[in-house]
Amino acid sequence: MGRVRWTSSTPSRPGASGNLTVAALLPTYQMVSLDLVIESLLNGLLLGGIYAVAALGLSLVFGIMDVVNLAHGHMLMVGAYVAILFFMATGITPLIGMILAAVILFGFGMVLHVVILDNVVGEGIEQPIIVLFGLALVLQSVGRILLGSEAQAAELGIPGSAISIGSATLSFPRVVTFVVALVLILGTWAFLRYTTTGLAIRATAQNNAAAQYMGINTDNIFALTLGIGTALAGAAGALLSMLFPITPFVGWSYLLKAFAVVVLGGVGSIAGTLVGGLVLGVSENVGVLYLGGGFRDIISFSIFLIVLLIRPHGLFGKSGGGE
Amino acid sequence: MSALGSIGSRLREPRTRRVLTVLAVLWLVTIPFTTTAYITEVFFTGLVFVMLGVSWNLVAGYAGQISLGHAAFFGFGAFVSAWLTSPGRAGLPESIQMPVVVAIAGGALAAAILALVVGPVMFRLTGHYFAIGTLALASIIQLILLDQRQFSGGSTGYYVQQSFGDDLMFLLALATTVGMYLVYRRIVASPSGLGMRAIHDDEGAASSLGVYPLKFKMYAFVVSSAMAGIAGGFWAQYTLFISADSTLSVVWMVDTLVIVVLGGMGSLLGPVYGAWLFLGLDTVLQRVGGEFATTVEGTLIIAFVLLAPKGVNGILRTWFDDDESGTAADHN
């Protein structure tokens, strides 16, 4: 029997084992109290912030380079493992490990562009899709060889108790990661808005040829964009490692979630991405409350497909870009 | 180059090719009777690979629609055929029990109907959106089947019972593969195949010349999905065990992609070469170091797209063709 390898390589469901507070209440299918709904709504908002970070990287690369990074979810997985291993080795909080993960993946993204993507971008959509699919595969299997298939997670490593708002309690790690996520998104926005390099990136996105006439080296801009995109994936992975167990197989699932957020928010729109992330986080968490933990991914993928079909350019997106 | 060229010119004669093909098929017929059960199973897997490669090449290589949801149709065909030969396990009435051949046809029909239903919806998307949309669709189908333990056996899987022996199944699969290839070749050569290639090259231009894109996309998608359903049906009825975890897994999509990219996307014989090459590679890698198999496959995908985008088929052509494309490629 040659073909039973990787039975666990299906897009795994991080929610099935994580998020125990909500999932534990579910098998009884009892009436869901309003307090519980509010609580999971708020927790969903907090989770949505991280989804927005993950999606922002994908959205930038898609909007500027016109390439969907199919390995984005797997890069997120790599970032999560960097933070987890750093935490296990030194005991230092993954919030610091996040910086390490972002730096490593920034370099990885730049190298990836120079070595591989530069040769296939602009040659139709098939080649980048297939190459990045292959890269996702390599990352996943290397991850499995090096780290095994067991789920691993990091702890926040900062003492702090749950925060109560009225009758709802918010877990402390979620609040912290949400704040960090907001800082990352604001930072990316400020970088694009107020720095000269950011201006060059936006100019390249608007009109590649015109940007070149203005003396912008668009090759460098593409490499930088991919670096920033993958760094954001790494940071999001580090944040997620504090909330959910990570396995080498979570890549596909997070790729689809991040892309769902991109579609919700519109390609290249930072505010839209943030709103999209929050919408996805909330609908996932509240949906799980009613349908059960096994439905977490079904919910987000379905939302994604429905939005994609009704508004192919996203809820808040303008038409054009990334077709 | 000239020696290879003269072999090439002989190889390009239709009669030589036909004789070689018939010999290869005849040799495959003897496999179950002359080798061990293990080797027969390896070659059976090869036949399934050919079916998968050929079917995906039709929709992706010719019609240019990079569907990443092929595994869903393969798995759906497998499950429907399993329900039809062994309905008892899914709690279905025994009265719907069918012979193997009918069950596999039923699986193909079910996959085609699924494609017919989701196709018009998915084809509202283009390019990257279509690729990711089909990936999401396949995930949804897999998650739903995984959740419906009664019908799929959940993560424990589903055991299939049928009365045909392994040898008979192998011969049946061989005949089906040959038939499927002939149908595929016919479609590619037909006006519809031309329409598919036209929308692949330039959808806007094609539709302005009166080629209705949706029609040809749907044609390719439905036929391709039915073929994937047949492959799935054979897989279920030969291995006698399927599960939503492994049979609908993205692994099948990966294998299909490797086969087609290795062989040469959008070339007639590409997926056939790719399937046997991949089979050899996969079998050897499983023995030598199973865990590295996927890493090697992923690396091969990247390497082929970068270095040999026309695949093995393209390489063979430059080697064996004496004048036309061989020297033309050298000049470039």
Return the CATH number at A128: 1.10.3470
Ramachandran area for residue B162 (φ above 0: left; ψ -120 to 50: alpha; else beta)? beta
User: What residue numbers bound the domain in which A116 lies?
Assistant: 42-310
Nearest by CB to B129, which of A144, A255, A312?
A: A312
Nearest by CB to B246, which of A4, A119, A301?
A: A4
* Residue A22 scores a pLDDT above 60: no
Question: Contact, A218 vs A204, CB < 8 A?
Answer: yes
Read off the amino acid at residue A119: N
Query: Which residue of A lies nearest to B134 if distances are taken between CA atoms?
Result: A305
Using an 8 Å CB-CB cutoff, list chain A residues near B146: 10, 294
Q: What SS3 string covers chain B?
A: CHHHHHHHHHHCCHHHHHHHHHHHHHHHHHHHHHCCHHHHHHHHHHHHHHHHHHHHHHHHHHCCCCCCCHHHHHHHHHHHHHHHHCHHHHCCCHHHCCCHHHHHHHHHHHHHHHHHHHHHHHCCCCHHHHHHHHHHHHHHHHHHHHHCHHHHCCCCCEECCCCCCHHHHHHHHHHHHHHHHHHHHHHHHCHHHHHHHHHHHCHHHHHHCCCCHHHHHHHHHHHHHHHHHHHHHHHHHHHCEECHHHHCCHHHHHHHHHHHHHHCCCCCCHHHHHHHHHHHHHHHHHHHHHHHHHHHHHHHHHHHHHHCCCHHHHHHHHHHCCCHHHHHHHHC
Residue B285 contacts A where some CB pair is shorter than 8 Å: no
Average pLDDT on A230-241 reads 94
Task: Round to whole Å and give the CA distance between A76 and A83.
Answer: 11
Residue A10, domain member (yes or no): no
CB interface of A with B, residues 176-195, below 8 Å: none
- Give the three-state DSSP class for A169: strand
* Residue A58 scores a pLDDT above 80: yes
Using an 8 Å CB-CB cutoff, list chain B residues near A314: none
Quickly count: other Cβ atoms within 10 Å of residue A27's Cβ: 9
State the pLDDT at residue A316.
Answer: 62
Interface probe with B: pick from A308, A309, A313, A323, most Cβ of B within 10 Å: A308
Residue B140 contacts A where some CB pair is shorter than 8 Å: yes
Residue B125 contacts A where some CB pair is shorter than 8 Å: yes
Percent of chain A predicted with pLDDT > 90:
35
- Greatest CA separation for chain B: 66
Residue A311 contacts B where some CB pair is shorter than 8 Å: no
User: Number of structural domains, chain A?
Assistant: 1
Summarised one tens digit per residue, pLDDT across range A6-18 is 333 333 333 343 3
Residue A197, domain member (yes or no): yes
Question: Contact, A80 vs A94, CB < 8 A?
Answer: no
Is B133 close to A308, i.e. CB distance below 8 A?
Answer: yes
B2-331 CATH choice from 3.30.750, 1.20.58, 1.10.3470, 3.30.450: 1.10.3470
Using an 8 Å CB-CB cutoff, list chain B residues near A298: 140, 143-144, 147
Residue pointed to by tokens 């193997």: B100
Question: Contact, A242 vs A231, CB < 8 A?
Answer: no
CB interface of B with A, residues 30-59, below 8 Å: 41-42, 45
* Residue A73 scores a pLDDT above 50: yes
Average pLDDT on A93-97 reads 88
Nearest by CB to B306, which of A116, A138, A260?
A: A116
Question: Contact, A171 vs A21, CB < 8 A?
Answer: yes
Question: Contact, B77 vs B107, CB < 8 A?
Answer: yes
Nearest by CB to B136, which of A68, A137, A256?
A: A256
Is B129 close to A126, i.e. CB distance below 8 A?
Answer: no
Tokens of A110: 């730049």
Summarised one tens digit per residue, pLDDT across range A108-137 is 999 999 988 888 876 677 888 889 989 998
The whole-model pTM stands at 0.82
Residue B247 contacts A where some CB pair is shorter than 8 Å: no
State the pLDDT at residue B332.
Answer: 30
Is B283 close to A2, i.e. CB distance below 8 A?
Answer: yes
Name, in order, each residue with C-beta under 8 angstroms of B92's C-beta and a sequence gap of 6 or more: B83
Query: Which residue of A lies nearest to B148 if distances are taken between CA atoms?
Result: A294
Residue A63, domain member (yes or no): yes
Residue A319, domain member (yes or no): no
Question: Contact, B263 vs B273, CB < 8 A?
Answer: yes
| Residue A125 distance to chain B (closest CA, Å) | 7
Question: Contact, B115 vs B127, CB < 8 A?
Answer: no
CB interface of B with A, residues 248-277, below 8 Å: 248-251, 254, 257, 261, 265
Beta bridge partners of A168: A165
Question: Contact, B158 vs B245, CB < 8 A?
Answer: no
State the pLDDT at residue B40.
Answer: 92
CB interface of A with B, residues 38-97, below 8 Å: 62, 67-68, 70
Phi then psi for residue B242, to 5 deg, are -135, 160
Residue-range domain boundaries for chain B? 2-331
Burial of B95: CB neighbours in 10 Å, binned 0-12, 13-18, 19+: exposed
Ramachandran area for residue A240 (φ above 0: left; ψ -120 to 50: alpha; else beta)? alpha
Residues of chain B with pLDDT under 70: 1-5, 8, 321-332
Tokens of A211: 């940007």
Residue A152, domain member (yes or no): yes
Question: Contact, A5 vs B289, CB < 8 A?
Answer: no
Residue A140, domain member (yes or no): yes
Residue A320 contacts B where some CB pair is shorter than 8 Å: no
Residue B301 contacts A where some CB pair is shorter than 8 Å: yes
Tokens of B240: 């006698």
User: Distances from the Cα of A63 to the Cαs of A204, A217, A220, A223, B196, in angstroms?
Assistant: 10, 18, 16, 14, 29
| Residue B302 distance to chain A (closest CA, Å) | 5
Name, in order, each residue with C-beta under 8 angstroms of B147's C-beta and a sequence gap of 6 or more: A294, A295, A298, B154
Residue A134 contacts B where some CB pair is shorter than 8 Å: yes
